[in-house]
Amino acid sequence: MHRPTLSASRRALLATAVVAATAVTPFSAGPATAAPADDRQQQYAAAAADHGVPESILLGVSYLESRWDTHPGTPSTSGGYGPLHLTDAAHVTSLPAGGHVDEDEDPRGDESRPLTVAAPTVTGSREAAPAAEALQTLQAAAALIGASPETLRSDPAANIRGGAALLSAYQKDLGGPLGGMSDPGAWYGAVARYSGADTEDAAAAFADEVYDQIRSGASRRTDDGHQVTLAARAVDPDDSVLHRLGLRRAERPDGLECPVRLACEWIPAPYAKYGPRAGDYGNHDLGNRPAQQKIEYIVIHDTEGYFAPSVDLVKKATYLGWHYTLRSVDGYVAQHIKAKDVGWQAGNWYVNAKSIGIEHEGFAGQGTWYTEAMYRTSAKLVRHLALQFNIPLDRQHIIGHDNVPGTIAANVADMHWDPGPYWDWSHYFDLLKAPFRTTGTARTGLVTIDPDFAANRPAFYGCNQQPPGVPPVPPAAPCPLRGSSAVLLRSAPNHDAPLVNDLGERPDGSPDTMYISDHGARASAGQTYAVAEVRGDWTAIWYLGQKAWFHNPASAPTAKWATGFVVTPKPGRNTVPVYGRAYPERAAYPTGVPYQTISPLQYTFAAGQRYAAGGILPSEYYRATTFDGTSPGDWTVVRGELRYVQVQFGHRMMYVNLDDVLLLPSPVGAPS
């Protein structure tokens, strides 16, 4: 992934943020209340008491920012630190900002209309940018409590005190009541301002989520081992002060495809010509989904850049288009393409034609963390779309960009790997109200990967070291040790065994590596695989044509026994081909529409192997090659007699011809 430079306008915006962030009136608190250094609950209580903030407000805001986790010393995707997500624009300037694709990449993934995009030009547009103060709250909070910014980045107790002081300052500026015993409902305006949103609906959505959390309560162990509890309580927030924040009102036209309570704005991607040829248009295709073609997937991406520049890019006809972009700091949503139309977002035309693409502000491999506000907004949006379009809420249909297969063997290595190993799939599906629950046993022959996210901390390397071309070899800089959804897969049942090989990434058969983007030897939370063997604390799954082992002790399992269906080659077939798209047979194409080759990938699916099935799919090809639909067959779906089974073949999903395999309930000769 490339490293575009930060624009001058973005630097100007950040400079403005530094000035704006310090313009808050401090709350004069009494002497600091001592809190035990090793008691996080008491640190919240002491900070709330010192700065006159109801404890439930401080805990509720912190939960929505970070779920009380510390992410020690490392920033979020919007440059926020610690349990109160205090932001630091100085850090923001140190990460690359820009586009989601590399120069000369084909985000469309359709051989009938090859498309490459130029290197993106990042402008840092102010449109849809967060409020300036949202970019530099850490310095403001540090000034309020008389501590250094570095202390607030690294010390959770100081970070909590800084967040409490900032909330108190916001409340005082609004003329609201102060004091730990004041009515929490009277703090609505301060909570809304803390969101960093620049629109009324985004600020209100954040505040509403905080108050919903206070009503329901929460209790969990943080990433550094502290048990923290927010006791549920009734609260009646006063939202009448919202208008006093002076925030703009987002454009929300009829037909906007977002839940009612979600902060969402229409910022359209262009369907426009940019050259003399019929194929010179961008940055998506018109469609008539789901009437013409069922939407099967929702693809989760990250932008590999910041929100405002990414939104600026999606407005270019010469770039690429996706359906939604989500902002990290407050969860704000911009919709760009209607669900009926086809975005150029996944690099695989079969998947593009059958999916909705959602970009999340952030970086897959910079060692940053995704905010709780963005997770929650994304889950609400995805659940809404899944219910509307009858998309199952499981990992066979709610997929990462890193789960999308290459279309042909030649482009497998060039496929993307976002949102990366630090996306918390288990928590995300909890928010989707579709947790990874199974009814399997050790005899049912399938496992669903589900490690303890906080405790699972693989030693990846190469964060902040992602030049184009071949990844660096060790000893590259290690990534921060942080929670991950990824489970490592080895060639033998021991920790010293090499990782398994992904032929698509390494045709020479060499083992995959711990380089952050090298995901060919990883399984991810929620993915289900067929069990190949069990030896003590180790479980082997069938993965890319081989046995792949992961540590799965009964005392701390990284997977759950599962039930479902598997595919295996029909009797008499030594191997069957595996595909990256489910295209029709030649006879299905009408006159004038070129046949799209059914080209197998480089992997081997041999007799005796089993792979978890994700459903039976029709063979389809959506034809769209000209701006006005004048090419033969344009804007139609070619359907064939062939049917395919989606399988969890590796880290990415793939397809097999239903005629080549047996589709059977597991277990099928499952290992004991």
Tell me which DSSP letter residue 175 carries: T
Report CA-CA distances (Å) from 594 to 405, 586, 624: 22, 9, 12
Report CA-CA distances (Å) from 141 to 55, 79, 111, 165, 328: 18, 15, 53, 7, 20
Q: Which residue has the higher pLDDT, 464 or 149?
A: 149
How sure is the predictor about 42, in pLDDT bands with cuts at 50, 70 and 90?
very high
How sure is the predictor about 277, in pLDDT bands with cuts at 50, 70 and 90?
confident
Is the entire prediction scored with pTM above 0.85?
yes
**Cα separation of 165 and 550, whole Å?**
46
User: Is 461 strand, coil or helix?
Assistant: strand
Exposure of 131 in the CB half-sphere (CA atoms within 13 A): 21
User: Is 662 strand, coil or helix?
Assistant: strand
In percent, how much of the chain has pLDDT > 70?
87
Per the prediction, the chain carries an average pLDDT of: 89
Q: Which residue has the higher pLDDT, 297 or 7?
A: 297
Residue at token pair 């919709």: 335
Phi and psi for 549 in degrees, rounded to 5? -100, 140
pLDDT attached to residue 107 = 85
Listed residue (219, 212, 245, 222) closest to 61, CA to CA: 212
Give CA angle at 313 (307, 316), nearest 5°. 150
Structural domain contains residue 409: no
Residue at token pair 């006005």: 628
How sure is the predictor about 475, in pLDDT bands with cuts at 50, 70 and 90?
low
Listed residue (377, 360, 370, 562) closest to 484, CA to CA: 370
- The DSSP line for 288-355 is -TTTSS---EEEEEE-SB-HHHHHHHHT-TTS---SEEE-TTT--EEE-S-TTSEES-SS-HHHHHTE
CATH of the domain at 31: 1.10.530
Structural domain contains residue 424: no
**Cα separation of 449 and 433, whole Å?**
18
Report CA-CA distances (Å) from 535 to 440, 547, 549, 648: 18, 12, 10, 22
Structural domain contains residue 290: no
Tens digits of residue pLDDT in 385-438: 999 999 999 999 999 999 999 999 999 999 999 999 999 999 999 999 999 999
pLDDT attached to residue 95 = 52
Cβ–Cβ < 8 Å for 632, 590: yes
**Cα separation of 215 and 438, whole Å?**
30
Average pLDDT over residues 35-48: 86
Tens digits of residue pLDDT in 283-293: 999 999 999 99
pLDDT attached to residue 672 = 45
Structural domain contains residue 57: yes
Helix H or strand E encompassing 272: strand 272-273
Structural domain contains residue 187: yes
Amino acid at 223: D
Cβ–Cβ < 8 Å for 576, 538: no
Report CA-CA distances (Å) from 279 to 109, 343, 354, 555: 15, 16, 21, 58
Identify any residues that bridge with 266 across adjacent strands, giving them in sequence order: 335
Exposure of 298 in the CB half-sphere (CA atoms within 13 A): 27
**Cα separation of 413 and 504, whole Å?**
6
Structural domain contains residue 311: no
Tens digits of residue pLDDT in 52-99: 999 999 999 999 999 999 998 889 988 899 999 999 866 655 555 555
Structural domain contains residue 645: no
Listed residue (238, 284, 261, 312) closest to 115, CA to CA: 284
Least confident stretch, 112-116, 152-156, 449-453: 112-116
Cβ–Cβ < 8 Å for 370, 77: yes
Assigned token pair, 389? 């379009």
pLDDT attached to residue 73 = 85
pLDDT attached to residue 22 = 38
Tens digits of residue pLDDT in 612-639: 999 999 999 999 999 999 999 999 999 9
pLDDT attached to residue 398 = 98
User: Is 14 strand, coil or helix?
Assistant: helix
**Cα separation of 189 and 500, whole Å?**
53
Exposure of 452 in the CB half-sphere (CA atoms within 13 A): 11
**Cα separation of 153 and 525, whole Å?**
29
Least confident stretch, 105-114, 268-277, 557-566: 105-114
**Cα separation of 533 and 266, whole Å?**
51
Listed residue (140, 148, 147) closest to 168, CA to CA: 140
Tens digits of residue pLDDT in 231-246: 999 999 999 999 999 9
Listed residue (513, 474, 300) closest to 397, CA to CA: 300
User: What range does the domain containing 174 cover?
Assistant: 8-96+127-245
State how far Cα 525 lies from the chain centre.
13
**pLDDT for 50 beyond 90:** yes
**pLDDT for 298 beyond 70:** yes
**Cα separation of 76 and 98, whole Å?**
17
Tens digits of residue pLDDT in 513-559: 999 999 999 999 999 999 999 999 999 999 999 999 999 999 999 99
Cβ–Cβ < 8 Å for 321, 355: no
**Cα separation of 289 and 634, whole Å?**
15
Cβ–Cβ < 8 Å for 85, 368: no
pLDDT attached to residue 664 = 96
Count the domains in the chain: 1
**Cα separation of 402 and 418, whole Å?**
5
Structural domain contains residue 312: no
pLDDT attached to residue 251 = 77
Tens digits of residue pLDDT in 358-389: 999 998 988 889 999 999 999 999 999 999 99
User: Is 499 strand, coil or helix?
Assistant: strand
